[in-house]
Amino acid sequence: MEVDLSKITLRPFKLEDADDFLLFAGDDQVTNYLRWQTLNSKQEALDHIKDVCIPHPWRRSICIDNCSIGFISIFPFSGEEHRFKANIGYGVAVKYWGHGIATKALKMAVPQFFADFPDVVRLEAFIDAQNLGSQRVVEKTGFQKEGMLRKYAYMKGKLRDMFIYSFLSTDLPANP
Amino acid sequence: MEATSVVQLDQTKAKDECLNLSLRPLQVSDVDDFMVWASDEKVTRFCTWEPYTNKEDGLNYIKNTVVPHPWFRAICVDDRPVGAISVSANSGNDKCRGELGYVLASKYWGKGIVTRAVKMVVDTIFVEWPHLERLEALVDVENVGSQRVLEKAGFQREGVLRKYFILKGRSRDMVMFSLLSTDYQS
Query: pLDDT of B71-93, one tens digit each?
Result: 999 999 999 999 999 999 999 99
Distance CA A108, CA A172 (A): 12
Q: Which domains does chain A have, with CATH numbers?
A: 3-169 (3.40.630.30)
Q: Is residue B94 part of a domain?
A: yes
Q: Which residues of A touch B178 (CB under 8 A)?
A: 149-150
B7-21, B24-38, B165-179, range with the lowest pLDDT: B7-21
Distance CA A165, CA A123 (A): 8
- Cβ <8 Å between B178 and A153: no
Q: Is residue B79 part of a domain?
A: yes
Q: What pLDDT, on the 0 to 100 scale, is given for residue A102?
A: 98
pLDDT tops 80 at residue B15: no
Question: What's the mean pLDDT in B11-34?
Answer: 88
- Cβ <8 Å between A164 and B159: yes
Q: Is residue B25 part of a domain?
A: yes
Q: How many domains does chain B have?
A: 1
pLDDT tops 60 at residue B1: no
ipTM of the complex: 0.93
Q: Which residues of A touch B176 (CB under 8 A)?
A: 146-147, 149, 164
- Cβ <8 Å between B171 and A121: yes
Q: Which residues of A touch B164 (CB under 8 A)?
A: 85, 122
Residue of A nearest to B167 (CA): A81
A65: left (phi over 0), alpha (psi -120 to 50) or beta: left
pLDDT < 70 positions in chain A:
175-176
Mutate to test the interface with B, among A123, A144, A146 (most CBs of B within 10 A): A146
Q: Is residue B142 part of a domain?
A: no
pLDDT tens, position by position, A17-41: 999 999 999 999 999 999 989 999 9
pLDDT tens, position by position, A58-79: 999 999 999 999 999 999 998 8
- Is residue B8 exposed (0-12), middle (13-18) or buried (19+ Cβ within 10 Å)? exposed
Name the minimum distance, in Å, from the CA of B55 to any CA of chain A: 25
Question: What's the mean pLDDT in B93-112?
Answer: 97
**Confidence bin at B33 (pLDDT 50/70/90):** very high
**Confidence bin at B18 (pLDDT 50/70/90):** confident
CATH code: domain of residue B75: 3.40.630.30
Boundaries of domain holding B55: 2-132
**By the CB < 8 Å criterion, does A148 face chain B?**
yes
Name the minimum distance, in Å, from the CA of A58 to any CA of chain B: 21
pLDDT tops 90 at residue B185: no
- Residue A13 main-chain phi, psi, to 5 deg: -75, 150
Q: What pLDDT, on the 0 to 100 scale, is given for residue A2?
A: 83
Mutate to test the interface with B, among A77, A87, A120, A152 (most CBs of B within 10 A): A152
Q: Is residue B185 part of a domain?
A: no
- Cβ <8 Å between B48 and A164: no
Residue A96, C-beta contacts closer than 8 angstroms, at least 6 positions apart: A3, A64, A69, A70
Q: What pLDDT, on the 0 to 100 scale, is given for residue A83?
A: 87
pLDDT tops 80 at residue B162: yes
Q: What pLDDT, on the 0 to 100 scale, is given for residue A79?
A: 83
Distance CA A88, CA B164 (A): 15
Q: What pLDDT, on the 0 to 100 scale, is given for residue A60?
A: 98
Q: What pLDDT, on the 0 to 100 scale, is given for residue A19?
A: 98
Q: Is residue B169 part of a domain?
A: no
Sign of the CA dihedral with A111 first, then A114, A118, and A121 last: negative
Q: Is residue B112 part of a domain?
A: yes
**By the CB < 8 Å criterion, does A154 face chain B?**
yes
- Cβ <8 Å between B93 and A148: no
